[in-house]
Structure 1
Amino acid sequence: MGRRYAIPLIAAALAGVWGAGLAILHWQGKSALLDRLEAPLVDLRFLIQGPRPAPDGITILAIDDQTVQQVGAYPLPRTTMAQLVSKVGRMQPKAVALDILFVDPGPAEGDLALAKALGETRGVLAAAGLFDRNVPYDADAAALNDLPMVQRLLLPIETLASASAVGVVNIATDPSGVPRHIPLLVRSNSQIIPSFPLRTVSVAMGQDPVLRADEVAIGDVATSTERGYALPLRFYGPSGTVRTISASEVLDGQADEDAFRGRIVVIGATVTGGGDAFPTPFDPVLPGVEVLATAMAHLMDGDGLVRDRRVRFADGCVAILLPILFVLLLAWHRGIWGFAVIALVTAAWIGLTFAAFTRGIWLSATLPLLAALPPAIVFGAAELWLDRRRADRLSVQSRTLRRFQPPSLTRRLAEDPAFLMKPVRQKVAVIFIDLSGFTGLSELLPLDETREMLRGFHALVDQEAVRHQGIVASFMGDGAMILFGLPDSSPEDACHAVEACVGLCLRTEVWMADLPDTIASQIGFKIGAHFGEIIASRLGGDSHQHITAVGDTVNVASRLMEVAASHDADVALSDDLHRAAGDGCSIFESGLLEGTFPTAIRGRSGSIPIWLWRRSHTHMHSGSGERHRSPS
């Protein structure tokens, strides 16, 4: 019992350790495999949730194909950019953010015009950081000293930078190129540089951001971040979901001022072939400017994804508990109910992650499943292998044990383990068969030959008993007791017993004929059969029991073997058996049947009528008083 519970508990503990290891990696953001597996499930959740309306506080001014065709150049000349910024500035936006890098000087006239335009409005320019790796976000960063470190910072030229604020436009993508985070802060040597979205919203709100644990607050709006102040992106929809207006409309003076007044205006390129586009769940080519605008919307409305340490802690707890639960479920029930519960729990967790996602909470669908399924599969496979081994071992044991019990009794005991625990009175036919002269012969024969003789004799007795629906209750050295009517009685039991008597005679004659003459000439056989009531029960101790039959019927059948031998007959059967078999049992027509004879039974008062049956060619062996095969 202790081992039965110890193995599942040890397996559950190991499964918990496995889950804890993955949970730690997830907590630290150091499992690339988890991120790769989680990415398509996140995209699926976006698609199931569907597009959402973007906040109204942001307008994208797109330098699109129409604008480039109108101006006749790309990138737009800086004088044109200055004209664009001036016209937007006169519409009283909260801020004008240019998602365009001005890292190289242009014509002096254009640079000065653009600097003047930026100075007349609350402008923000883009800077870019160069990193050793493609993804600058380090999820293990927890303090300012651990922020992503840029190797080189590409800043706007001094003429423009002095007239506006600056923010870094870097976007963190997963291996498939989908934007997942915006690092809100980066380090460059000893400087901490805010991101382009963070700087823009801060300028627009007129307040500096306040950094808290897993949170950035600007004014009354607090936005949840991951470790290292990384902002998870929660896409609104395909390109154009965030209000987008062509820059050509502003240059032509045809733009609706209400689309800019009191809003953040983000100027960026959406021109075909511009290269600044990213694949997202809703759109394979979402412009980079709309990705940045999405981050700004999160900072303004606080509607981004929540994946802070509390969420990761919840993921980790489930990753530890789920594999333990799965292993214990498999240990409890490996049938359909156990797997059904596992499937239900798995579906429930996936459903919970989808439901939480619609409310902006990013629970990991991958971590708990990756933590739970491998231990469950390994444990389940190991249990199935052990079950198969146990089944094979039990099958061997069952086959072995069946050789010690008749098949019909074995089946009954398997169906009813309490069979014959209480004695049962039942009418049965009883046959005894015994080899004559075997005791003396066994003194002369080697042990191996004696064993082989008994093996052959027992085999034919068993075959004949089974063929006539009887059971060998016991082998007694060179003899056997056969019962007809156990475990269940039948009106044909007596007839089957009579048929078995004749069958045993014929089979034993053939068997003896195959023995060497020196052996066959010294042995014979005798059969006694009777029909009546017996008491069938189990006898023995707690360690071993056997099924047997006792009663006067058994004693009479045993004594009738002596009667058969004394009358030079093959079989001596009682008149009770003959009458119970009925006239329809004509098997004795193959030999000589004589009777009835009142016969005294040794050890029993009175006499009973009996019948004698013999083969016509038998004779008495000199001096033996027992029936033998005539020598050839």
Structure 2
Amino acid sequence: MSRRAFQTLIALILAGLWGAGLGLAHMQGDVWLVDRVEATMTDLRTAIRGQKPAPGTVTIVAIDDEVVRQEGSYPLARATLARLIDKITELNPKVIGIDLLLVDPGPEDGDHALALSLGRSTSVLAAAAVFPEGQQRIETNPDDPLSSIPSAQRFLLPTKPFVDAAAVGVVNVSTDRNGTPRLVPMLFKSGDHIEASFPLRVVSLAKGVEPTIEPGRILLGEQTIRTDTGQALPLIFYGTRSTIRTFSAADVLNGKLSRDSIEGQIVVLGTTVTAGGDVFPTPFDPVLPGVEVISTAISHLMNGDGIVRDRSVRLVDAGVAVGLPLVLVALLAWRRNVIGLVMIACTILAWLAINMAAFVNGIWLSAAVPMTAAIPPAVIFGAVQLWLGKRRAQHFARQSALLQQIQAPGLGKWLARNPGFLAQPVRQDAAVVFIDLSGFTGLSETLGPNPTRELLNGFYKVVDEEVAACGGIITSFMGDGAMILFGLPEPGIDDAFNAARCCVGLCHSTRDWLASLPTSISPRIGFKVGAHFGTVVASRLGGGSRQQITATGDTVNVASRLMEVAAGHGAELALSEEMLQAVGHRSSPFQSGTLSGPLETNIRGRAGSLAIWLWQGVSRQ
């Protein structure tokens, strides 16, 4: 397995484990780490979905500013509440839900009147659960389906005369970190005592059935209500205040309501008075009265129009929390370019579209859990890949710089643009130049390794500067010599002329360099240059791990042998007739010395003779 594949595999495993951990935590309940993000995303999705009309099954009778002004007190007197309930009862509602905590005794006559009014109606009174430190606590026990319901320290129940006259339901709701009610638990417990919620008690009386509690759902006759963790009912708000039909209690007391406005309805009596304190922020209204929150839950239970988030939905969330980071990391590993980024963006947009479509159609898929599962692994993996890519880029830059040092700069750049250059051998015309130091082998035996290396470096520098100035490439340094080509990476009409200029320049520069050496070294070494023009075979030589670009063929062999001819005739440079003809009338490179020939000369290892020209330069000092 390659290093890149191994890194990707490790990233996928870690991303999957991170997503699985978040998914498992989400399956057991809300994850505090992402609760605020989920709240914000839920508000956004609710706002995009927009307001909807509330079903006409629930009516609110509000204890508002008008009735308080009319009656002259707040809270309303128990006798006034009794009269209000009697008026509502006369209009024949299905159930009256009284969202008021009547936990303290009042005047005896008022309590007596209220108890009689409750007895004459089908009504539900509000109770409250008191939790330690004000936080709803849930204990999970897989062997007990009721273990996950909120466990209260105690219940605040209405006084006994009222409890004897009416049913009781707990009005507590669960809010997120923004304070918005998101869930209404359907059951509460305190020790062995279990109480139904206010909405569930109201709806069971309205339907005339006893609720059946099963894990993840509540059965109300033939109707199934799917619930979230802790047998909680998710809320989705219809709109701003009074979206659920609302009447003032003053109108009821004054007899201004017709029978049609109440008959057959579930009536919820609660307070909306200014500064009453029982308000909650929602996506549509920053101060939605608590009675409308409770009425929303009642409407969901009655009409089955709420939003669904149960164990199966959370299981989908967990699956996305595992799958989405795997997909993003895989895409980052597969395509680290614009295409990859576009595919990642399309994947995220597709998931957001599916999430929004599900929300609009009543399924509450989590937005925050998949985001939290996907974003950190993708960002970390991307950052690591960028860091590794930067390191690789630096490595390749160093290799490129090294290549420029080893290969001619033009050839290195050409290879970067054309990686397939000379993958197959190419026959072409080229000028080949060889230069070699004479007497260097014997000198190196006496100098030792370090002085020898310094001497060679000086020689190589001279050669490199002259070749670069004339546009050639050094295919190799061979000990105390070098092979130089003119015609790569592409042949040109000036290759022979440039090679001639290089030969003359090498002779002058090498002569000057030798003269600059210490007198103990300079007389002991010399140099010779050979040059030939003809057909060569340019190719890559070597194995798969290392290749060298060079040229082979008779032209190369002749150029190499011409150095011997130069040395044998006491000349600095020996060049072939073909080379001189290829230079043409532009013979100016040789005017700084003496050019003699042609000489018919036998070349070692080659049949027949060859016309050779000799050149001897004049010192520039």
Letter in 1 for 2:554: D
Q: CA separation of 1:65/1:585 partners in 2, compared to 1, >3 Å: closer, same or farther?
A: farther
3-state DSSP of counterpart to 1:293: helix
Counterpart residue number, 1:88: 88
Counterpart residue number, 1:55: 55
Counterpart residue number, 2:595: 594
Q: 1:198 aligns with which of 197, 200, 204?
A: 200
Q: CA separation of 1:602/1:223 partners in 2, compared to 1, >3 Å: closer, same or farther?
A: closer
Letter in 1 for 2:553: G
Aligned mates of 1:189, 1:594 — CA distance in 2: 117
Counterpart residue number, 1:395: 397
Q: Counterparts in 2 of 1:69-148, with a 5 A limit? A: 69-136=69-136, 138=138, 140=140, 143-148=145-150
Q: CA separation of 1:139/1:492 partners in 2, compared to 1, >3 Å: closer, same or farther?
A: farther
Aligned mates of 2:529, 2:165 — CA distance in 1: 124
Q: TM-score, length-normalised on structure 1? A: 0.92
Counterpart residue number, 1:243: 245
Counterpart residue number, 2:552: 550
Q: CA deviation at 1:413?
A: 4.2
Q: TM-score, length-normalised on structure 2? A: 0.94
Kept after mapping to 2: 8 A contact 1:124/1:166? yes
3-state DSSP of counterpart to 2:550: strand
Kept after mapping to 2: 8 A contact 1:168/1:195? yes
Kept after mapping to 1: 8 A contact 2:127/2:157? yes
Kept after mapping to 1: 8 A contact 2:217/2:226? yes
Aligned mates of 1:104, 1:295 — CA distance in 2: 27
Aligned mates of 2:176, 2:129 — CA distance in 1: 18
3-state DSSP of counterpart to 2:132: coil
Letter in 2 for 1:187: K
Q: Deviations over 1:373-413 (max 9, x none)?
A: 22222222223323333333333334334444333444444
Kept after mapping to 2: 8 A contact 1:93/1:265? yes
Unaligned runs of 5+ in 2: none
Q: Deviations over 1:426-473 (max 9, x none)?
A: 211122222223233223322221221111101211221122111122
Q: CA separation of 1:285/1:421 partners in 2, compared to 1, >3 Å: closer, same or farther?
A: closer
**1:518 matched to 2:523:** no
Q: Deviations over 1:524-576 (max 9, x none)?
A: 22222222222333444566543333333333333333443444433232332
Q: Counterparts in 2 of 1:445-484, with a 5 A limit? A: 445-484=447-486
Kept after mapping to 2: 8 A contact 1:560/1:573? yes
3-state DSSP of counterpart to 1:290: helix
Counterpart residue number, 2:345: 343
Kept after mapping to 2: 8 A contact 1:94/1:261? yes
Aligned mates of 1:483, 1:84 — CA distance in 2: 110
Letter in 1 for 2:39: A
Counterpart residue number, 1:529: 531
CA-based RMSD of the aligned residues comes to 2.3
Q: CA separation of 1:156/1:219 partners in 2, compared to 1, >3 Å: closer, same or farther?
A: same
**1:264 matched to 2:266:** yes
Letter in 2 for 1:224: R
Q: Deviations over 1:153-191 (max 9, x none)?
A: 222122222221111111111122111111111123332
Letter in 1 for 2:25: L
Q: CA separation of 1:592/1:5 partners in 2, compared to 1, >3 Å: closer, same or farther?
A: closer
Q: Deviations over 1:101-156 (max 9, x none)?
A: 11122122211221222222112211112111434263847623543222222221
Kept after mapping to 1: 8 A contact 2:324/2:374? yes
**1:309 matched to 2:311:** yes
Q: CA separation of 1:439/1:102 partners in 2, compared to 1, >3 Å: closer, same or farther?
A: closer
Letter in 2 for 1:116: L
Q: CA deviation at 1:200?
A: 1.3
Q: CA separation of 1:405/1:179 partners in 2, compared to 1, >3 Å: closer, same or farther?
A: same
Kept after mapping to 1: 8 A contact 2:281/2:287? yes
Counterpart residue number, 1:423: 425
Kept after mapping to 1: 8 A contact 2:577/2:598? no
Unaligned runs of 5+ in 1: 619-631
3-state DSSP of counterpart to 1:491: coil
Which deviates further from its counterpart, 547-556 or 218-227? Answer: 547-556
3-state DSSP of counterpart to 2:502: helix
Aligned mates of 1:298, 1:361 — CA distance in 2: 14
Which deviates further from its counterpart, 211-220 or 312-321? Answer: 211-220
Aligned mates of 1:422, 1:218 — CA distance in 2: 82
Counterpart residue number, 1:628: none
Q: Deviations over 1:199-221 (max 9, x none)?
A: 11122222221222211222333
Q: CA separation of 1:140/1:32 partners in 2, compared to 1, >3 Å: closer, same or farther?
A: farther
Q: Counterparts in 2 of 1:396-411, with a 5 A limit? A: 396-411=398-413
**1:612 matched to 2:617:** no
Kept after mapping to 1: 8 A contact 2:39/2:177? no
Kept after mapping to 2: 8 A contact 1:63/1:268? yes
Aligned mates of 1:21, 1:538 — CA distance in 2: 54
Aligned mates of 1:46, 1:250 — CA distance in 2: 34
**1:293 matched to 2:295:** yes
Aligned mates of 1:475, 1:506 — CA distance in 2: 19
Equivalenced residues, count: 618
Q: CA deviation at 1:496?
A: 0.3
Q: 1:377 aligns with which of 376, 379, 386?
A: 379
Aligned mates of 1:89, 1:542 — CA distance in 2: 95
Which deviates further from its counterpart, 239-248 or 383-392? Answer: 383-392
Aligned mates of 2:554, 2:421 — CA distance in 1: 23
3-state DSSP of counterpart to 1:275: coil
Kept after mapping to 1: 8 A contact 2:431/2:496? yes
Kept after mapping to 2: 8 A contact 1:9/1:328? no
Q: CA deviation at 1:271?
A: 0.6
Aligned mates of 1:29, 1:497 — CA distance in 2: 81
Counterpart residue number, 1:629: none
Letter in 1 for 2:512: V
Counterpart residue number, 2:366: 364
